[in-house]
């Protein structure tokens, strides 16, 4: 057995942290199970100066093992390694070393001052981006150098003319009134003996710029500001500290405007050559002013950083019927365009961004509302340049070139995709190409909307952390990408933003600030997502950290009862059965509130059990049963008919087991009838769609679930693909069958909520599930349910333990399932016999063998250990 990967807090190297009790996890290969482990943490990479040694710990735990040594010191580097013992008590070699480096563990270690521009900033207008600079001398042999920085607004640093780091949109978006992240940078290679210069540019970003609705600006701060502290260590043990303070200077940069929604305006004629390098004449620059101390908490980078992930080359140059020059990148993406240009001084070009073309093939931006999404560049005539914006991002597939000089060459353009760093963990593929494109669209919708915060959409004047969207998509998100750090950071903001009475605001961070919150299915994110993260990563810490917030929401619903259920709720948002002119679906919102209250109470009950809080477990079990009784009294007739005649009402009732057992068959039949009345189409919205295929599968209507998935006409998932979609739409009829648009006011073509069908695709088509009593796939259940004429499907997920995969192929008389089970885990293979011979790894199995056991119906369960296995079902006649 060998250890292939050691991580600390989900990272191979944990840099710039203020976590005092990080958790270790490692992956194993070429073995069966772990029986013991040993972790060492040292101040030197040779592990001579040990500060923690667990010795041999008899345990099969290889994830989420908490550091329990002496308290870490600030700004100190540590080294960690682990070894394991297998079932034969044979040890592995030591793992590859993982590095942990702390940042500030005490806020009092900050001696830097907040600095800003010296002129008054009008809160109602867009501003020129300021550039700040400071010269400083370095003498001596440097052994290490670190910069710790944050800002009100966004910042980008440079030293001696070279960019510091490779992240975008720092310090990212938190609940700014309460907490603000800072980043740590290694800058040794950027420094030189003698005079050095550090520079900074500050964009308005989420904190100071325009956000939310009604063109609100400066929601958190009325001006941009920088906080920076550099620590330089020398070979002789001495240290030099450079801080942001009143000695810095500032001037306007060439970035005349930079906004999240609106794009960027850059005038190269106003460039300041060498401004962030030594020997620059700063006599005309103004002195900065020191600002007030930040009243919230400064925390080290907690979430996943946003970086450039990939680039996309354009596929086509178009001239629209209106004569517009348009470039098609072939993919609805989020990021920005990098372009090269050589032209005369004073030449101004504009690039506008859009997701779609209209019915006639013209450039379409009405759905952006107030967001301009425009890059304006003015040339200084100094030869060819390569330009990209600094403090903004766009959602787009198409760009329009306005006043572009000369011939347009596609080689001069590329799309730069940015999003939070989340390694891809999941893959899905099947025999239907349109379903494969659907998976592609789901994944790209997640990439585009997971830019530090799980936004509803990435293009119009919104881009907010809507809790409902995140809640319904969380399970799919955890399959596709490693969202452990991404959700952890955002959930902490959910807890901080929670109102005193227990309600959760509709968006987090709460930049709307109107006191609105508590909508069913939206506020439940505070319960559903921590549980989803726990199930995916075995992370009990997030349950502990979120427990009080989860409980406050449950208790708010319990205390307020009908007063809460009768208040405003978004309900089955944008369902097709909504009344004309309404966004709210026809399903009774009070009924939905009951359903989600039961759903969250059930999760709360299970959370309490996991954490050993058995009094709470018993209390929530009683509460859940009482709520179900109330639900049945109000919404189920004496003869067992659900009194909510909508698809979503029946879906939630089946999915959450709200009906008595004796009435469930009728409820299932009524759901199918409602679907058939729509010619086997759905008419569900945000709170029905995620569960429709799960409900149908549970109700033994798998054929109907596959029919819905494979529909190609409106409304359906594949209708979008048939109309050229490369991400998920906000509305089933975002583009109507006649080519017109659903709405100007709310019609995003990159809105991931309906991508929640991906959860069903992984769990049901491919069959990859985490066992009910397990987490992190320590025990998995592989239970594929073929249908819809598919001849094969395969999927995988890189779990905390390693690669878990399922692949099946079927013909008229044979079904073959191949699986890979990670070391230190087990799996239960669940199949349907249906008069088949069964072979496991080439050996025919006797149906009476007691190692294997039946359950209700014809489902047959076989437990297997790590490694690759093949299960073959052959017609009895062969």
| Closest by Cα among 16, 19, 6, 15 to 492 | 19
Is the Cβ–Cβ distance between 397 and 356 less than 8 Å?
yes
Instruction: Identify the H or E element spanning 79.
Output: strand 77-86
Please, where in the chain does CATH 2.60.120.260 lie? 110-303, 310-420
Whether the pLDDT of residue 466 is over 50: the answer is yes
Please, where in the chain does CATH 2.60.420.10 lie? 767-875
User: Which of 117-121, 460-464, 505-509 bottoms out in mean pLDDT, i.e. has the lowest?
Assistant: 117-121
**CA distance linking residue 579 with residue 208, whole number of Å:** 39
**CA distance linking residue 873 with residue 216, whole number of Å:** 62
pLDDT digits (tens, 9 = 90+) for 4-39: 999 999 999 999 999 999 999 999 999 999 999 999
Q: Is residue 476 reached through a cis peptide bond, with omega within 30 degrees of 0 on the bond before it?
A: no
pLDDT given for residue 851 in this prediction: 61
End-to-end, the C-alpha distance of the chain in Å comes to: 40
Active-site position among 355, 503, 707, 730: 730
Mean pLDDT of 475-501: 98
**CA distance linking residue 396 with residue 416, whole number of Å:** 11
User: Which of 211-215, 298-302, 638-642, 653-657 bottoms out in mean pLDDT, i.e. has the lowest?
Assistant: 211-215
pLDDT digits (tens, 9 = 90+) for 813-868: 899 999 999 999 999 999 876 667 888 999 888 766 656 655 545 678 889 999 99
Burial of 856 (0-12, 13-18, 19+ CB in 10 A): exposed
pLDDT digits (tens, 9 = 90+) for 361-392: 999 999 999 999 999 999 999 999 999 999 99
Active-site position among 175, 432, 462, 807: 462
SS3 string, 36-59, reads: EEEEEEECCCCCCCEEEECCCEEC
Q: Which residue in this structure is represented by tokens 């093949």?
A: 870
**CA distance linking residue 343 with residue 380, whole number of Å:** 8
Instruction: Identify the H or E element spanning 674.
Output: helix 661-677
Give percent helix, percent strand, percent coil of the chain, each to the nearest 5.
25, 35, 45
**CA distance linking residue 34 with residue 84, whole number of Å:** 6
Rg (CA), the chain: 29
**CA distance linking residue 244 with residue 247, whole number of Å:** 8
pLDDT given for residue 852 in this prediction: 60
**CA distance linking residue 502 with residue 801, whole number of Å:** 36
| Closest by Cα among 506, 408, 519, 417 to 465 | 506
pLDDT digits (tens, 9 = 90+) for 344-362: 999 999 999 999 999 999 9
Tokens matching residue 877: 């006649």
Mean pLDDT of 410-419: 98
pLDDT digits (tens, 9 = 90+) for 104-159: 999 999 999 999 998 888 888 999 999 999 999 999 999 999 999 999 999 999 99
Helix (H, G, I), strand (E, B) or coil at 601: helix
Is the Cβ–Cβ distance between 144 and 191 less than 8 Å?
no
pLDDT digits (tens, 9 = 90+) for 648-704: 999 999 999 999 999 999 999 999 999 999 999 999 999 999 999 999 999 999 999
pLDDT band for position 581 (cuts 50, 70, 90): confident
pLDDT given for residue 610 in this prediction: 98
Is the Cβ–Cβ distance between 865 and 820 less than 8 Å?
no
Please, where in the chain does CATH 1.50.10.10 lie? 426-764
Alpha helix (H) ranges present in 498-588? Answer: 525-537, 540-565
Per CATH, the homologous superfamily of domain 310-420 is Galactose-binding domain-like (2.60.120.260)
User: Does domain 426-764 match CATH 1.10.150.120?
Assistant: no
pLDDT band for position 516 (cuts 50, 70, 90): very high
Identify whether 730 is a catalytic site residue.
yes
Is the Cβ–Cβ distance between 17 and 80 less than 8 Å?
no
Mean per-residue pLDDT over the chain, rounded: 96
| Closest by Cα among 592, 590, 524, 587 to 562 | 590
| Closest by Cα among 230, 207, 205, 204 to 294 | 207
Bridge partners of residue 401, in order along the sequence: 325, 351
Bridge partners of residue 387, in order along the sequence: 339
Instruction: Identify the H or E element spanning 450.
Output: strand 450-451
pTM (global) more than 0.75: yes
Whether the pLDDT of residue 426 is over 50: the answer is yes
Burial of 385 (0-12, 13-18, 19+ CB in 10 A): middle
pLDDT digits (tens, 9 = 90+) for 700-722: 999 999 999 999 999 999 999 99
pLDDT given for residue 838 in this prediction: 86
The CATH architecture that domain 767-875 belongs to is: Sandwich (2.60)
- Residues belonging to the chain: 878
**CA distance linking residue 581 with residue 574, whole number of Å:** 10
Query: What is the CATH code for 110-303?
Result: 2.60.120.260
Task: Report strand pairing: 98-102 vs 14-17.
Answer: parallel
Mean pLDDT of 636-642: 97
pLDDT digits (tens, 9 = 90+) for 35-90: 999 999 999 999 999 999 999 999 999 999 999 999 999 999 999 999 999 999 99
**CA distance linking residue 821 with residue 804, whole number of Å:** 5
Tokens matching residue 220: 């958190």
Residues 6 or more apart whose CB falls under 8 angstroms from that of 323 comprise none
Number of Cβ atoms within 10 Å of the Cβ of 876 = 11
Tokens matching residue 227: 């906080």
Task: Report strand pairing: 65-66 vs 23-29.
Answer: antiparallel
Mean pLDDT of 725-750: 94
User: Does domain 2-102 match CATH 3.30.70.270?
Assistant: no
pLDDT given for residue 382 in this prediction: 95
**CA distance linking residue 132 with residue 149, whole number of Å:** 13
Helix (H, G, I), strand (E, B) or coil at 173: coil
| Closest by Cα among 68, 91, 93, 134 to 4 | 93
**CA distance linking residue 645 with residue 637, whole number of Å:** 12
Task: Report strand pairing: 179-186 vs 297-300.
Answer: parallel
pLDDT given for residue 671 in this prediction: 98
């Amino acid at each position: 057995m060998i250890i292939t990967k050691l991580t600390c807090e989900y990272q191979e190297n944990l840099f710039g942290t203020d976590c005092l009790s990080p958790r270790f996890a490692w992956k194993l290969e070429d073995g069966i199970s772990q029986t013991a482990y040993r972790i060492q943490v040292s101040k030197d990479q040779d592990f001579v100066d040990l500060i923690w040694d667990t010795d041999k710990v008899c345990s099969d735990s290889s994830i989420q093992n908490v550091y329990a040594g002496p308290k870490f010191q600030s700004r100190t580097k540590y080294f960690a390694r682990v070894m394991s013992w297998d079932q034969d008590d044979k040890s592995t070699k030591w793992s590859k070393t993982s590095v942990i480096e702390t940042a500030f563990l005490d806020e009092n270690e900050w001696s830097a001052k907040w600095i800003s521009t010296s002129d008054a900033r009008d809160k109602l207008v867009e501003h020129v981006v300021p550039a700040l600079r400071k010269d400083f001398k370095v003498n001596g042999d440097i052994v290490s150098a670190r910069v710790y920085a944050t800002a009100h607004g966004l910042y980008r640093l440079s030293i001696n003319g070279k960019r510091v780091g490779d992240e975008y949109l720092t310090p990212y978006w938190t609940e700014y009134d309460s907490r603000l992240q800072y980043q740590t940078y290694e800058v040794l290679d950027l420094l030189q003996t003698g005079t050095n210069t550090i520079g900074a540019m500050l964009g308005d970003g989420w904190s100071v710029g325009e956000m939310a609705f009604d063109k609100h600006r400066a929601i958190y701060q009325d001006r941009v500001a920088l906080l920076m502290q550099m620590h330089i260590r020398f070979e002789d043990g001495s240290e030099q500290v450079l801080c942001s303070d009143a000695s810095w200077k500032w001037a306007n940069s060439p970035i005349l405007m930079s906004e999240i929604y609106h794009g960027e305006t850059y005038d190269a004629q106003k460039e300041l050559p060498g401004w962030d390098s030594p020997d620059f004449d700063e006599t005309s620059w103004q002195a900065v002013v020191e600002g007030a101390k930040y009243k919230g908490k400064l925390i080290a980078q907690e979430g996943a950083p946003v970086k450039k992930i990939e680039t996309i080359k354009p596929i086509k140059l178009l001239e629209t019927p209106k004569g517009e020059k348009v470039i098609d990148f072939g993919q609805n993406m989020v990021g920005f365009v990098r372009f090269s240009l050589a032209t005369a001084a004073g030449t101004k070009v504009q690039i506008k961004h859009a997701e779609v073309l209209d019915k006639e093939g013209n450039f379409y931006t009405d759905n952006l509302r107030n967001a301009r999404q425009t890059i304006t560049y003015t040339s200084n005539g100094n030869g060819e340049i390569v330009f990209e914006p600094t403090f903004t991002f766009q959602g787009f597939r198409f760009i329009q070139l306005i006043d572009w000089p000369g011939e347009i060459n596609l080689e001069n353009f590329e799309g730069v995709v940015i999003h939070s760093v989340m390694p891809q963990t999941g893959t899905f593929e099947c025999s239907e190409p349109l379903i494969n494109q659907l998976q592609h669209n789901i994944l790209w919708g997640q990439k585009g909307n997971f830019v530090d915060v799980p936004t509803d959409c990435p293009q119009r004047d919104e881009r907010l952390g809507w809790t409902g969207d995140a809640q319904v998509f969380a399970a799919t998100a955890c399959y596709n990408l490693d969202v452990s750090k991404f959700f952890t950071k955002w959930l902490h903001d959910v807890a901080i933003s929670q109102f005193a009475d227990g309600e959760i605001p509709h968006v987090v961070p709460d930049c709307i600030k109107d006191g609105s919150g508590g909508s069913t299915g939206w506020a439940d994110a505070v319960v559903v997502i921590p549980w989803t993260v726990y199930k995916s990563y075995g992370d009990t810490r997030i349950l502990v950290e979120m427990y009080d917030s989860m409980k406050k929401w449950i208790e708010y619903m319990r205390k307020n009862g009908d007063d809460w259920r009768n208040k405003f709720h978004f309900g089955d948002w944008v369902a097709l059965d909504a009344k004309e002119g309404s966004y709210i679906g026809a399903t009774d919102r009070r009924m939905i509130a009951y359903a989600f209250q039961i759903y969250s109470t059930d999760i709360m009950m299970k959370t309490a059990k996991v954490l050993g809080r058995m009094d709470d477990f018993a209390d929530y079990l009683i509460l859940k049963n009482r709520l179900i009784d109330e639900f049945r009294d109000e919404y189920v007739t004496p003869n067992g008919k659900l009194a909510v005649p909508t698809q979503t009402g029946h879906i939630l009732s089946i999915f959450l087991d709200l009906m008595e057992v004796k009435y469930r068959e009728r409820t299932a039949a009524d759901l199918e009838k409602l679907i058939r009345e729509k010619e086997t189409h759905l008419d569900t919205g945000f709170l029905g769609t995620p569960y429709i295929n799960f409900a149908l599968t549970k109700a033994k209507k798998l054929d109907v679930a596959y029919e819905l998935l494979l529909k190609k006409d409106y409304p359906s998932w594949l209708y979008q693909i048939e109309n050229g979609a490369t991400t998920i739409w906000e509305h089933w009829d975002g583009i109507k069958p006649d080519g017109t648009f659903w709405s100007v006011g709310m019609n995003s073509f990159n809105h991931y909520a309906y991508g929640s069908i991906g959860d069903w695709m992984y769990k049901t088509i491919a069959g990859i599930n985490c066992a009910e009593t397990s987490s992190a796939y320590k025990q998995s259940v592989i239970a594929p349910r073929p249908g819809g004429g598919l001849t094969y499907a395969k999927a995988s997920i890189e779990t905390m333990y390693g690669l878990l995969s399922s692949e099946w192929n079927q013909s008229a008389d044979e079904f073959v399932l191949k699986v890979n089970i990670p070391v230190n885990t087990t799996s239960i293979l669940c199949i349907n016999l249906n008069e088949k011979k069964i072979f496991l790894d080439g050996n025919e199995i006797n149906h009476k063998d007691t190692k294997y056991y039946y359950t209700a119906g014809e489902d047959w369960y076989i437990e297997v250990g790590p490694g690759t296995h093949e299960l073959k079902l052959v017609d009895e006649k062969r």
